[in-house]
């Protein structure tokens, strides 16, 4: 059966109110009937823009996600700087990124990630869960061991995988312009699938790739049938490159 391909824009700490133009352009492109139906487009702007964007672009063609969620399982309270699951839902978002390597560097460990994932899913948010090894670990041939550990320490056995998108993002590829070879990716995704089937009894996990995805390299990346989409940073900031990624994937 043909599967849905995810194109998720991770804006990180970028964008302002004017950036809505970029989303409008993507939205207009999606209205065209000529592009495959089997796609899911999600934008994760900074949280200050979520509400206004999702209110202004009231469409079924695009979805939104937050870039973080509080580990405190409450709707409101005296917790400076925190964004609750309820607040995210109210902003119109249906997704949240958890475990991004840039967040792990700051303040997210596996215990926190596990908590956030469970709070998100409990509140009907789908989770984009990021995993990835750094260059040192890759050079030591530890990549898969690291990924396995990140999954085991963050994903509860009882989780419903319909609510989870696993984004493999090698840290050495994020923002560097370096993309792993298809051979390397094939080995990683094959092992991931096998591991998830054995440990979590899930046959069709949603596995995507992130790290320096561009309109050019998406063609080669798209040859890997185990990859169901992309988490796109830099190239998602401008509608032109984001649209080209989608077009080139399906061409
Ligand atoms: P990049 O970022 O596409 O700019 O490499 C991807 C990500 O960090 O999610």
The Cα 104–Cα 235 span in angstroms is 22
Q: Would you place residue 1 in the very low, low, confident or very high pLDDT band (cuts 50, 70, 90)? A: low
Q: For residue 67, what are its two tokens?
A: 């870039």
Tell me if 120 CB under 6 Å of ligand 1.
Answer: no
Report yes or no: 12 and 102 within 8 Å, Cβ to Cβ. Answer: yes
Tens of pLDDT, residues 98-121: 999 999 999 999 999 999 999 999
Mean predicted confidence (pLDDT) in 133-160: 97
Rounded distance, CA 158 to CA 201, Å? 10
Tokens matching residue 116? 């956030």
Contact 174 CB / ligand 1 (< 6 Å): yes
The answer to whether 69 and 96 have CB atoms below 8 angstroms apart is yes
- Element containing residue 141 per DSSP (H, E): none
* Contact yes or no for 110/153 (Cβ under 8 A): yes
SS3 content of the chain, % helix, strand, coil (to 5): 45, 15, 40
| Superfamily the domain 5-250 falls into | Aldolase class I (3.20.20.70)
- Nearest atom, ligand 1, residue 101 CA: 8
Residue in 233, 235, 238, 244 to alter for ligand 1 test, most ligand atoms within 8 A of Cβ = 233
Cα of 75 to ligand 1 centre, how many Å? 30
How high is the pLDDT of residue 141?
96
Q: What integer pLDDT is reported at residue 37 of this predicted model?
A: 83
Angle, CA of 13, 172 and 215, to the nearest 5°: 70
Question: How far apart are the C-alpha atoms of 45 and 226, rounded to whole Å?
Answer: 27
Cβ–ligand 1 contact at 169 (below 6 Å): yes
Instruction: Kindly compute the dihedral angle of the four CA atoms of residues 209, 211, 212, 217, in this order, to the nearest 10 degrees.
Output: -30
**11-62 residue pLDDT tens:** 999 999 999 999 999 999 999 877 888 999 999 999 999 999 998 887 789 9
pLDDT of 2? 80
Task: Pick left, alpha or beta for residue 238 (phi over 0 → left; psi -120 to 50 → alpha; otherwise beta).
Answer: beta
């Amino acid at each position: 059966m043909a599967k849905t391909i995810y194109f998720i824009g991770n804006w990180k700490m970028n964008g302002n109110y004017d950036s809505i133009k970029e989303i409008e352009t993507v939205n207009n492109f999606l209205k065209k009937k000529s592009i495959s139906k089997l796609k899911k487009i999600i934008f994760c702007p900074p949280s200050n823009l979520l509400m206004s964007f999702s209110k202004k672009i009231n469409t079924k063609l695009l979805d939104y996600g937050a870039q973080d969620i509080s580990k405190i399982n409450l709707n409101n309270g005296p917790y400076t700087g925190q964004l609750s699951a309820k607040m995210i839902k109210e902003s119109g978002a249906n997704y949240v990124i958890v475990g991004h390597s840039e967040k792990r560097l700051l303040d997210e460990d596996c215990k926190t990630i596990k908590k956030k994932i469970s709070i998100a899913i409990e509140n009907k948010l789908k989770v984009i869960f990021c995993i990835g090894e750094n260059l040192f670990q890759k050079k030591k041939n530890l990549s898969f061991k690291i990924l396995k550990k990140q999954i085991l320490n963050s994903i509860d056995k009882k989780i419903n995988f319909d609510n989870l998108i696993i984004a493999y993002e090698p840290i050495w590829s994020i923002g560097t312009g370096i993309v792993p070879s298809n051979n390397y990716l094939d080995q990683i995704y094959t092992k991931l699938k096998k591991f998830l089937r054995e440990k979590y009894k899930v046959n069709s996990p949603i596995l995507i790739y992130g790290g320096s995805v561009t309109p050019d390299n998406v063609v080669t990346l798209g040859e890997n049938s185990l990859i169901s989409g992309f988490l796109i940073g830099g190239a998602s900031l401008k509608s032109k490159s984001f649209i080209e990624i989608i077009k080139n994937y399906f061409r």
